[in-house]
Structure 1
């Protein structure tokens, strides 16, 4: 019995405080090439594990690649198309939401998710990938006492992480007693954001926050889920993607603005992360009107 079979054989309702999540099915497919335009009466959240292509939502085309989260919302026509053989490897969950109240953080979160129109999020956070992997693990192997309870707990955490990725305008909560490590990481990430237009090394970041590179790497892994170098590249390319969509700046100027000394290097990094070159991304992902920048 596969992990999806085992999960689908368990009771489908997952309770998250004031939110009932009626799960219709968990599924995965290793070779999605193209599916016809269609719509559902329920939510369908897909994680792109491997491959690249397009997610067409309500007539708009969005490039997708490894780590993309796709949000197919009730009643909205959508389609997934692979760019290359053998296709896109997907894992997904289909469910219906019922909010029994709006008290507390979970009620507010799922209310924000259910009213959002966000079609996708690029580069799924490390915890989303880890939770999908953990969910597979709970459904694999021989059935043991407590296995269903473990699967439900992981599924709850995964649904919360997916809702956070698919909701608009979430405000981070202020920690009651923030630890020193988190404060150091915030200081380092702000320094990265303020200096995207030039080379940044782990050694320079470590000097800025008065730590060794090894100590800083450990804190980034703990609080950000990736290395300092990985965070720098992600931040550069996320900012580049925003500039491509929201401005008419030339690609060379955008490459310079995010710290890439040459367009070929920028194009390779951008394509590796988002699965499509900058020019094609700009053409396809026109989610907002272009602003003229003088």
Structure 2
């Protein structure tokens, strides 16, 4: 990785990426660095976090009187108020970024995370191959050289935020453990495929055996998936989707009841009316009248 190619990217990052605000966290980014040859610096400290990644070269890193070896694909963290120093006789190719959390603008959980990061004891990571953080950093620099792109600033901000998260996850082990008491509801890929097929083909008959055949499984298996994962039968799910779609068409289209019945897969308008009225406790015609100004035939926003 020739860092000279990314010097313009460093300029773009320092021009555009100063504040990152997402998911309850507000980060101030003080500077971005791309250094093709970094030699010795003085023993010093910061009031913020600084993270460096060694692209090439060898050297040593001194942190709070502890000395660590630096080599290719090494990531190291300088914590706030900790004296540190980088040494290299032949020079290091370095990427670096300095940031801190704006506590007053961030959630309590983020403030706790950053306090944990300040106390972390593992401040250096060696990898034989490029780690995920390094790949994100490389991607960020590549994007930063493309100022002509339509979503240039948005992409920089999103990748930069992901990079900061990846760095924190590298150095704060607790972040690698889920702290959610309940995982979000998960559905199988098979169910999602079935739901998409149903949604896109409501005007068809949508028999259990036909949908199962499309998914290359048995009807019994597909039926079990709906009951197990959604708690409803296949036929009930299909009927509910037909009615949901019919409600949208009644609100937002000028289609006749007969056309809506056909579009949503009911065999005739009488059957459609009977099912809709049973489920919604109102006829399709009266339902539509709630959303349409009868005098102007334009749709009400109320």
Work out the CA distance in 2 between the residues paired with 1:79 and 1:88.
13
Correspondent of 2:155 among 128, 150, 153? 150
Q: Aligned partners of 1:128 and 1:28: how far apart in 2?
A: 15
Secondary structure of 2:16's aligned partner = coil
TM-score, length-scaled by structure 2 = 0.53
Say if 1:117 and 1:18 are closer, same or farther in 2 by CA, change over 3 A.
farther
Q: Does 1:98 align with 2:98?
A: no
Q: What are the residue-to-residue correspondences of 1:54-73 with 2, within 5 Å?
A: 54-73=60-79
Give the corresponding residue for 1:192.
none
Give the whole-Å Cα distance in 2 for the aligned partners of 1:151 and 1:30. 22
Tell me the CA shift for residue 110 of structure 1.
3.8
Q: Unpaired segments of 5 or more residues in structure 2? A: 1-6, 189-302
Q: CA deviation at 1:107?
A: 6.0
Q: 1:167 aligns with which of 165, 172, 178?
A: 172
Structure-2 residue corresponding to 1:40: 46
Give SS of 1:128's match.
helix
Aligned residues: CA RMSD: 2.6
Secondary structure class of the residue paired with 2:157: helix
- Out of 78, 84, 95, the position equivalent to 2:84 is 78
Distance 1:126 1:114 in 2: 22
1:132 Cα deviation after fit: 0.9
1:138 aligns with 143
Distance 1:117 1:77 in 2: 14
1:20 is aligned to 26
Q: TM-score if structure 1 supplies the norm length?
A: 0.54
The answer for the alignment partner of 1:113 in structure 2 is 117
Residue 41 of structure 1: how far off its partner (Å): 1.3
Kept in 1, the 8 Å contact 2:17–2:157? The answer is no
> Residues 198-247 of structure 1: CA distance to partner in whole angstroms, max 9, x if unpaired?
xxxxxxxxxxxxxxxxxxxxxxxxxxxxxxxxxxxxxxxxxxxxxxxxxx
- CA gap of 1:149–1:126, structure 2 versus 1, over 3 A, is same
Taking the aligned partners of 2:145 and 2:175, their CA distance within structure 1 comes to: 34
Alignment of 1:182-201 (within 5 A): none
Secondary structure, aligned partner of 1:9:
helix
**What residue number does 2:132 align with?**
127
CA contact (8 A) 2:80 2:118 kept: no
Provide the rounded CA distance (Å) in 2 between the counterparts of 1:109 and 1:40: 19
Q: Structure 1: 5+ residue runs without aligned partners?
A: 180-294
Q: How far apart, CA to CA, are the structure 2 residues paired with 1:19 and 1:80?
A: 30
Match of 1:52 in 2: 58
